[in-house]
Amino acid sequence: ENPRVVGEYESEKSIVGVAVRDTFAYLAVYHNQGGIRVINIAEPENPFFVGEDNWYYGYDIAAPSNDSLYVYAAGGYWFVVEDVSYPQYPTFVRRFSTPGNVRGVFVRDSLVFLACEQMGLHIFNLAKPDSEAAIAWLDTPSNARNLFIKNNYAYIADGRGGLIVIDVSLPESPEIISTYDTPDYANDVYVEADRAYIADGDAGVIILDISTPESPEEYGRIETVYANAVYVRNGLIYIADRDMGLVIAQEEQE
């Protein structure tokens, strides 16, 4: 089927990240007066602005489904905790500095995992958001662009370093257990079941079998011009491509 646009929210600033929880979309705004923006999407045909908090360039945002109070945003050399219990007035709670530029954020329970470009993986424990929280750091071979956490593993899209698999069963002591050299530049990664989908620049999307995380193997590829980001849901693969826009693909059934 051909997808169609059902609603649109126009922004005067660049939107580079989005997370959805309940009836709200939370946007990462890339601008020197960017930060986060809250959009009501209760009626998808008529999304409208609710509130915003401006602080700096936003790169990515996470709104975990089990946390109704906070969203977590990547921005420059820190990540920011925002209280969105009143969506009209998102409120800065605290920012946590990192030595690397934060490009990706993934939240699981009280743990926040950050992809920090040339400074690799950083892990924070936010059981108490107003307390000191950094618990671990692990450098990656190249440039950590984004990440996905599944079970006890962190999957890092590491630019020229390809896919890096890290054991985070002990969050205070993360350990690299395998690497996979992708053909081009790993920008993003999404994990579904026992497969990792890597948005790999000129190489399109590389699909890896990760049923054994210690030894990923190529399962397939999807050709696009330049894959920047990837998301998988209900058997469909959504690819943000620099030149082609949104590409929707489906794996052939065996």
pLDDT over 80 at 29, yes or no: yes
Q: Which pairs with CB-CB distance under 8 Å and at least 24 residues apart come from 234-237?
A: 237/197, 237/205
pLDDT over 60 at 1, yes or no: no
For 178-182, what is the mean pLDDT?
98
For 236-252, what is the mean pLDDT?
84
pLDDT at 155 (0 to 100): 99
Which phi and psi angles does 17 have, rounded to 5°? -155, 150
pLDDT over 90 at 208, yes or no: yes
| Amino acid in the structure at residue 115 | A
| Amino acid in the structure at residue 250 | Q
The reported pTM is 0.88
Report the sign of the C-alpha dihedral through residues 38, 114, 201, 212, in that order.
negative
Tens digits of per-residue pLDDT, 54-66? 887 778 889 988 8
**In the chain, what are the domain boundaries?**
1-95
pLDDT at 222 (0 to 100): 94
Confidence of residue 11 (pLDDT cuts 50, 70, 90): confident
pLDDT over 80 at 174, yes or no: yes
Q: Which residue has the tokens 């693969």?
A: 237
Question: Is the separation of the CB atoms in 110 and 95 below 8 Å?
Answer: no
Q: Into which CATH architecture does domain 1-95 fall?
A: Beta Barrel (2.40)
Dist. CA 140–CA 237, nearest whole Å: 27
Closest by CA position to 163, among listed 198, 137, 207:
198
pLDDT at 98 (0 to 100): 86
pLDDT over 90 at 252, yes or no: no
Rounded to the nearest angstrom, the gap between the alpha carbon of residue 150 and the centroid of all alpha carbons in its chain is 13
Mean pLDDT of all residues belonging to the chain: 90
Question: Is the separation of the CB atoms in 199 and 231 below 8 Å?
Answer: no
pLDDT at 66 (0 to 100): 80
Q: What is the DSSP secondary structure assignment for residue 253, as one 8-state letter?
A: P
Strand partners, 36: 28, 53
Rounded to the nearest angstrom, the gap between the alpha carbon of residue 1 and the centroid of all alpha carbons in its chain is 27
For 183-209, what is the mean pLDDT?
96
Query: Which residues neighbour 144 within 8 Å (Cβ) at sequence distance 6 or greater?
Result: 100, 103, 104, 115, 116, 117, 118, 119, 120, 121, 156, 157, 158, 159, 164
For 177-194, what is the mean pLDDT?
97
| Amino acid in the structure at residue 37 | R
Structure tokens belonging to residue 82: 């925002």
Structure tokens belonging to residue 92: 């800065």
pLDDT at 244 (0 to 100): 85
